[in-house]
Amino acid sequence: MNFSDFKNSGNVLSKEQMSGVKGGGTCGYKGADGTIICGISKEGALFMLTEKGDRWCCDSCGTSSYCGK
């Protein structure tokens, strides 16, 4: 789903639809030790990467197991 799909629509998007919108928004991080931080900048997520097994997301956060639904 793209922004143009709902740009001038009078309809309100559901939570499920919002999680499918690509671009913009914030990023997240999940450390190998279980630490989860959502709603941070891309730079912040990349800065947190220190160990093998750490993960990060931005556009895909809505479908991630740690920052998704």
Distances 59 to 10, 11, 22, 36 between C-alpha atoms, Å: 25, 23, 6, 17
Res 51: pLDDT: 86
C-beta separation of 18 from 63 below 8 A: no
Other beta carbons within 10 Å of 29: 22
59 CB-near residues (< 8 Å, 6+ apart): 22, 23, 25
C-beta separation of 54 from 48 below 8 A: yes
C-beta separation of 35 from 15 below 8 A: no
**Per the confidence metrics, is the pTM higher than 0.75?**
no
Dump pLDDT digits (tens) for 26-66.
899 999 999 999 999 899 999 999 889 999 998 888 889 99
Domain map (residue ranges) of the chain: 26-62
